[in-house]
Structure 1
Amino acid sequence: MLRHWRQRAGLSQLELALRADSSARHISFVETGRARPSEEMVLRLAEHLSVPVRERNALLLAAGYAPRYPETPVDDPSLASLRDSLERMLTAYEPYPALVVDGRYEVLAANRGIAVLLEGVADHLLRPPPNAMRITLHPEGLAPRIRNFLEWREHLLEQMQRQLALLRSAPLRELYEEVVAYPPPEGGTERRGREIPFALPMVIDHRGRTLSFFSTITTFNTPMDVTVSELAIETFVPADPETAALLPTFLE
């Protein structure tokens, strides 16, 4: 496991040893099972290799130690202050659409601005727990309204592939295999998102008008809980003055 993360980071045993205040010989012995690292060393190596929190627990277990990071349900009372902070953040983004998703892209919270994106989405896709990838890529979801669907689909699938390279998540793998098999909507092979040179916007039809958004993702810095480490706040920022002017009118 350590070799996997080291090679993924593009580091030699010597480079990792220098960063972690160890020796290349010790790193080699750990990778081949000839030496058992201390718990502190496992965590230090994981930190220098930017190993996700969930996988740090797996490294600890493989080394014979108990997991260090809890996995607390989002609705647990201990996370009440976190939920309150997220709600304030989502409200502050209005009228721009914003939502919170977990590591499986299930929507945990959203603001009123998200209604702009959900109009026309089939009811079965909105039943709890709604999934952001299904809502976006399903032929009965947002897909028929996305003008540059092919480009946006590629962007989302690449995002999921990057996550799968980091996490050994069977539910995420199943979701990926499901959404990649969705047929494109009629006209869904167009590419129209390159008008703005510095980022790919999502361009959608809304009540006969065209809206363009940049998507931004915010995650928590140095999380100490598996659940929190996999939360992401996604915001859709207007990509042009016309969209910025129209959004406030949809909440009136």
Structure 2
Amino acid sequence: MMKNIGIIIETDKEKIKETNFGMITLARAGDTRLFALVMGEADASTLKKELESYGITRIVSVLLPENDMNNPVVRAKALAEAIKAHEISVVFGLATAQGKDLLPRIAALTEAPLVMDCFDVDLEKNMAMTSQYSGKTMARIRLTGELLVLGIRPNAIEPVLSPASAAAAEIMTFDGTRLGSDGFRVIKTGEVDDDAKINLVEADVIIAGGRGMKNSENFSLLSLCAEKLNAAVASSRVPVDAGWVPYSMQVGQT
């Protein structure tokens, strides 16, 4: 029986983040119908061609209240309602900062099992593979339920274009503008303080500096090197705590 797979698409400045395409490739395995769930701030029509090339056949534009575009409660409620409306049986989302906030809310609202940080999924057996204890062990988790929610580790799957000819994807609209926030309000929003040309989550190559950089000015040396290698620049915890670089550059277990 064909499964309806809902894929929550993350965008940045109205462009699809590259990490979405590996997730779509993973969801395409088996007898599946792929729904791209696009949140209110992104124009589904401008994303259509790129999504089609990876096998998306339905694009659901989830409309949100104008004053609550960034409210995680409203976003989760709208997505949960859209998932039910389109009879989706498996939800894929990236295990990014946004996904770690959104996916547990969706799982709670729909009373669905949730597995985060998956690097592989077997949709026929309803099984997800994930790492635990900082990668020291690998777990195979079998899920049961009418709906499954899976957080996919960014860059864990190599993106592959759909081998079949790209069929025209149908764009549908789900009106979530009527949904309330249950008293939860967003007081302030802002851009992440990150001047990096390449997002750390999406980078194939990362150059990181630590205590030995000694000051913020020396991180410019890493930036010059990163430009040559088309890499992102990262930092250990010490330079971040010292204020040499922003928190958005920190990598590592802490």
* TM-score, normalised relative to structure 2: 0.23
More strand per residue: 2
